């Protein structure tokens, strides 16, 4: 049972749609809270995606992320710095698509009944680390295969991607993982009261 099921009971279609749309809105708001790094900004998106995954479970959380990505693709300014679908052609595209995997990992933990702070923290750290796979695959390989050009495409990992795509975000990812676990365990504690 996920936190959402415990809080709202049986989730009929109307509640599921409301939760998915609410989750996509939460992620869009979190995307606008950012620290301006280049070429990838530091935002609270990962915190929101992890929290959504832990709260909704794998299926609904993955759908919420797909809805969020579809909103951006349709031209809504839901991505960092109020970007829309144009972000799918920029350096953050791999991270955006990777959010589906992050939500699924966090949601799977929730579906399996994991509620302990330390266990959720571990899952959140693993999910945050996995995000770097599509996040780095996009600028290192996929963008050039797709025919895109840019100074962020096809660079050396050590000199460029580590310095601009990984290292500045590591501490923030740990903090966001711990915060997501804290928010969800706090939600469970509030429900028990």
pLDDT score for 121: 98
- Which of 91, 110, 90 is closest to 102 using CA atoms? 110
Domain that holds residue 82: 3-192
The enclosing domain of 61 has a CATH number of: 1.10.1760.20
DSSP calls for 37-80: -SSS-EESHHHHHHHHHHHH-HHHHHHHHHHHHHHHHTT---BG
Which of the given ranges, 3-7, 30-34, 74-78, 157-161, has the highest pLDDT on average?
74-78
The domain total for the chain is 1
Kindly report, residue by residue over 142-154, the tens digit of the pLDDT.
888 888 888 888 8
1-15 pLDDT, tens digit each: 898 888 888 889 999
Give this prediction's pTM: 0.93
34 three-state secondary structure: strand
Q: Write out the two tokens for 190.
A: 């509030």
């Amino acid at each position: 049972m996920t936190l959402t099921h415990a809080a709202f009971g049986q989730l009929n279609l109307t509640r599921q749609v409301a939760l998915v749309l609410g989750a996509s809105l939460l992620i869009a708001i979190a995307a606008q809270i950012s620290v301006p790094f280049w070429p990838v900004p530091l935002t609270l998106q990962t915190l929101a995606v992890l929290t959504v995954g832990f709260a909704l479970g794998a299926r609904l959380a993955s759908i919420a992320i797909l809805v969020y990505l579809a909103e951006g693709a349709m031209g809504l300014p839901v991505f960092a710095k109020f970007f829309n679908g144009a972000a799918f052609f920029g350096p953050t595209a791999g991270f955006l698509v990777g959010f589906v995997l992050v939500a699924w990992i966090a949601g799977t933990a929730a579906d399996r009944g994991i509620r302990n702070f330390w266990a959720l923290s571990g899952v959140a750290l693993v999910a945050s680390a996995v995000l770097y796979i599509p996040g780095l695959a996009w600028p290192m390989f996929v963008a050039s295969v797709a025919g895109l050009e840019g100074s962020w495409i096809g660079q050396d990992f050590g000199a460029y991607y580590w310095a601009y795509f990984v290292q500045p975000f590591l501490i923030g990812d740990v903090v966001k993982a711990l915060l997501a676990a804290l928010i969800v365990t706090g939600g469970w504690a509030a429900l028990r009261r």
